[in-house]
Amino acid sequence: MDLLVKLYTLPPGPEPLPPGVTLRRALAPEAPAILPWIAARFGDGWQAEAAAALSACPARLYLAHRDDGTLLGFACHDVTARGLFGPTGVDAAARGTGIGTALLLAALRAMAADGYAYAVIGGAGPVDFYRRAVGAIPIPDSEPGLYRGLLRPPG
């Protein structure tokens, strides 16, 4: 199901992060490091959307990494459709540390700065997380949503 978020009610940021973790907008030349990491953890579809996010100027992909460069998570916005948040993912070992919330809010704040009043979280997985983090509400009759009829590789 898709969720709706009021961007004009987001709390001010930035969000606290664990020590030694940086959150920032990605740079296009980082694609060879970022895209295989996403594909290995979240699949080829999310890798494709992240590649599109990295091709925008400025990039529409935020990432979290340790000071040594180890990737921990990412969040995209305005990729498959304007006003759409996602995909986003955090490495399993880094979940529960606040990184997912920080990535979500960084991307949504960027959308608000671009003039959006609302954002759609398409095909939201952890609905309760989005409800708690940003007050997201379900959009009635939004399933299967934008991704209906999506072509997938054979196999």
The answer to whether the beta carbons of residues 145 and 123 sit under 8 Å apart is: yes
Mean pLDDT of 74-95: 97
Q: How confident is the model at residue 30 (pLDDT cuts 50, 70, 90)?
A: very high
The domain limits of the chain are: 3-147
Residue from 98, 59, 65 nearest 79 by CA: 59
Q: How confident is the model at residue 155 (pLDDT cuts 50, 70, 90)?
A: confident
State pTM to two decimals.
0.95
- Asked if the model's pLDDT at residue 146 lies above 80, the reply is yes
Which helix (H) or strand (E) segment holds residue 63: the answer is strand 61-66
> Is 86 strand, coil or helix?
strand
Q: How confident is the model at residue 88 (pLDDT cuts 50, 70, 90)?
A: very high
In tens, the pLDDT along 39-67 reads 999 999 999 999 999 999 999 999 999 99
- Asked if the model's pLDDT at residue 109 lies above 80, the reply is yes
CB neighbour class for 75 (10 Å; exposed up to 12, middle 13-18, buried from 19): buried
Weakest-pLDDT range from 2-6, 14-18, 97-101? 14-18
The per-residue pLDDT for 36 is: 98
* CATH architecture for the domain at 3-147: 3-Layer(aba) Sandwich (3.40)
- Looking at every residue in the chain, the average pLDDT score rounds to 96
Phi, psi of 150 (to 5 degrees): -60, 130
